[in-house]
A = this chain, B = another copy of it.
Amino acid sequence: MEKASYTDMWENLNLDIEAHEGLLEVLGKFYGDIYMSQQGRLQGMEYLDFVLSEVHGLRIQELVEAKEQGRKIIGTFCVFVPEELTLAVDAIQVGLCAGADAGTEAAETVVPRNTCALIKSFIGFKMAKICPYTESCDLIIGETTCDGKKKAYEAFGEMAPMYVMEIPQRKEASERALWKAEVMRYKEELEKLTGKTITAEALKKSIKTVNDKRRALQRLNTLRAAVPTPISGRDVLLINQVSFYDDPIRFTNSINTLCDQIEERIAKNEGIVPEKTPRLMLAGCPMAVPNWKLPYIVESSGAVVVSEESCIGTRNTRDLVDESAETIEEMIDAICERYMKIDCACFTPNDERLENIKKLAEETKVDGVIHYSLMFCQPYTHETFKVEKALADAEVPMLAIETDYSMEDVEQLKTRVEAFVEIIS
């Protein structure tokens, strides 16, 4: 990253320049080790390398310029926030989930120690003043998907402009009514923030934009299922991570270009790994940038990741909004319907998730599943038991891993993953 040209911008965003430089240095080294060391990567990944190298530079500059033009920046932590509405008021939506241990000590002065690493991380990034995304936001949207986030937003709201959506916990008629009321409330909030009224035309267009992004990622997920797999799991995770903060149209075009290259590779029967390489699915908690720990361990242990069942993965891309609606009312209903298909562990029961995992395991021809839970994430840790049972019924081996963002357990995890890979080989 060109430090000189961005330092003023970061200062204007009130970042702690020294701490931020330290973060970028670690991030750069980490990225070099985990990503740039890979052999035989697709040419289209250069775009992702560029985006990542400019994650706190060029993209932030774009946000700053957009703000100068009067556009608003909306931060999110969850796939339940309807980007369709955000785009329909010409605002920009960026994901704020964070995947690195930073500011943890400060975070633990406002949330309990027994809080998952993702929550401590976004609070820590804020308190340490090292996240230019958080600092660029005009409004940050929280949601009630888990106790940890729900209550952490109360503390976070004392530091940042916070707005919380309620996500229901069942999917019956009265919960769907609540969800629709929440979607409408979000629409009104956006209209108030921007002074714009969402038109049918704008909403129709933004529904298509977000669907196109999902379609590109669906295409990628279908292509990577080839044997041998043409792309590493690390690279696809990175793509999913970038999908949360890159410009959606530019991102979609880049992913489609990459998919063209993948098709060529598949036509030549080429893979990123040998055909017999054990294929794994990662299922469970989201892995936010730069949380590449587990995929790196897996892919350094003789296996390859071919599917990510998580919010930063298929949970965010599997379902499209119906595009046939014409009126605002119909489009809102279509949006509500689509988001209520999300198989988040916040729902009880959440049996769809078990079906979706089994289906994805079959479609991506996996030899096993690693269920990944962030320590203290109660919803996904509870579902580990159910997923294990469902996969056992389908005769798919599963390994349950519970970890955080520290590097202390890397060797231990590597030993467990290697043993698992050996069993399923």
Contacts and interface: CB of A to CB of B under 8 A. Distances in A.
Interface of A: 110-112, 114-115, 144, 146-148, 150-155, 164, 166, 168-170, 173-175, 177-178, 181-182, 185, 345-346, 348-349, 375-376, 378-379, 381-386
Sorted nearest first, the 5 A-B pairs with minimum C-beta distance are A151-B382, A174-B181, A147-B378, A112-B381, A144-B169
Contacts of A379: 147, 151
A178 B375 CA distance: 32
18 contacts: A110-B385, A111-B382, A112-B381, A112-B384, A114-B376, A144-B170, A146-B378, A148-B382, A151-B345, A151-B348, A151-B378, A151-B382, A155-B382, A155-B385, A166-B174, A174-B178, A175-B178, A376-B376
A174 B177 contact: yes
Contact of A382 (B112, B144, B381, B385): B112
Best-buried of A151, A185, A385 by chain B (most CB within 10 Å): A151
B175 A348 contact: no
A378 B166 contact: no
Q: Report the copy number of this chain in the oligomer.
A: 2
A110 B386 CA distance: 9
Given A112-B381, A154-B348, A154-B349, 8 more contacts: A114-B378, A148-B378, A168-B178, A174-B181, A177-B177, A177-B178, A376-B376, A378-B378
A174 B169 contact: no
B166 A175 contact: yes
B114 A375 contact: yes
Contacts of A375: 114
A388 to B, nearest CB: 11
Contacts of A381: 112, 114
Given A147-B146, A166-B168, A382 B178 contact: no
Contact of A378 (B115, B173, B178, B345): B115
A346 B146 CA distance: 10
Contacts of A153: 348
Contacts of A112: 378, 381-382, 384
Given A379-B151, A385-B110, A164 B348 contact: yes
A303 B411 CA distance: 49
A376 B181 CA distance: 32
A115 B153 CA distance: 22
B144 A348 contact: yes
Contacts of A111: 382, 385
Contacts of A178: 168, 174-175, 177-178
Contacts of A150: 169, 348
A383 B177 contact: no
A154 B386 contact: yes
Interface centre among A144, A150, A154, A375 (most CB of B within 10 A): A150
Contacts of A115: 378, 382
